[in-house]
Amino acid sequence: VKPETVHEDFDYVFLTSEEPEFFHRETVNKMKLTKVKFVASAKAGQELTKMMVRNLAVLQNGPGGQCYLQSRDKSGAAIGILSAPGAGGMPWERQEQAFVFVNLENGAAVAYEAFGQYLGKGAASSKPGIPEEAYQVDYLITPDLREAAGVASGLAEKGAKLKAVLRLPGEGNPLDEDVNPLTALDRAFGIEDKAEDFQAFLKGESSLAETNLVMLKTDEAFDLNSSA
């Protein structure tokens, strides 16, 4: 993907976090900022505003933030995006947003949070006003299977019927750089970020035994209907 032509190749560019691991300013600056349609988290939106982009939809911190997207030629299904709580349940932790992408044609719902803590660690956020749609998702996208185990289990406890967990390409989670001893202790009793560990975890959970694991590769397209 060439940033110079991203406005021709994609209907929208979605920036989920202002952290440098996800908001690469050098790449964004190469885009034609007057032509790209951006969708962004609240903090990423603040950064884009400073860059004088022309087309920008900002999802305010959830619960509550939402927007609706339609493809340029209206040939594809419209997508609704809801904002929800992400990582950062404690005062010393960085605060992140999570997102739910809903296909408004078939109802398929996809959950994502940049650091893997969708609805907080273990999907156990106590923030008031979280919509029911945030819990009843079909797919979970994650950068870290260690975090995904807790989130999947938490969602299942709330009635979600996860069809698949999709592990993004790449190694390591920026949260690994957190030197807080409580973070290290919390992870000491989890699984490793390995496919075999996670698959064993799924088989051991009756509510997740039918959930598939998909290890995505760079530039790989994935049809969500294929794991239905």
Q: Name the strand (E) or helix (H) holding 44.
A: helix 42-50
- Residue 189: what pLDDT? 44
Percent of the chain with pLDDT over 70: 84
Which residues 6+ apart lie within 8 Å of 133 measured at CB? Answer: 82, 100, 102, 109
Residue 228 has pLDDT above 50, yes or no: no
- 222: confidence class by pLDDT, cuts 50, 70, 90: low
The predicted-structure confidence for 116-158, as pLDDT tens digits, reads as follows: 999 999 999 988 889 899 999 999 999 999 999 999 999 999 9
Strand partners, 100: 82, 111
pLDDT averaged over every residue in the chain: 87
Instruction: Report DSSP letters for 132-183, one per residue.
Output: GGGTS-SEEEES-HHHHHHHHHHHHHTT----EEEEPSSS--GGGG---HHH
Query: 3-state class of 82 per DSSP?
Result: strand
- 188: confidence class by pLDDT, cuts 50, 70, 90: very low
The answer to whether the CB of 83 falls within 8 A of the CB of 64 is: yes
- 94: confidence class by pLDDT, cuts 50, 70, 90: low
Residue 193 has pLDDT above 90, yes or no: yes
- 56: confidence class by pLDDT, cuts 50, 70, 90: very high
Beta-strand relationship, 66-69 and 212-215: unpaired
- 64: confidence class by pLDDT, cuts 50, 70, 90: confident
The predicted-structure confidence for 156-172, as pLDDT tens digits, reads as follows: 999 999 999 999 998 76
Considering only 38-42, 147-151, 186-190, which range has the smallest mean pLDDT? 186-190
- Residue 180: what pLDDT? 53
Q: Can you tell me the mean pLDDT for 174-191?
A: 54
Dihedral over Cα of 215, 217, 218, 223: its sign: negative
- How many angstroms separate the CA atoms of 214 and 166, rounded? 5
Q: Can you tell me the mean pLDDT for 100-112?
A: 95
Neighbours of 76 (CB within 10 A): 13
- Residue 172: what pLDDT? 61
- Residue 72: what pLDDT? 79
List the structure tokens of 220.
């790989």
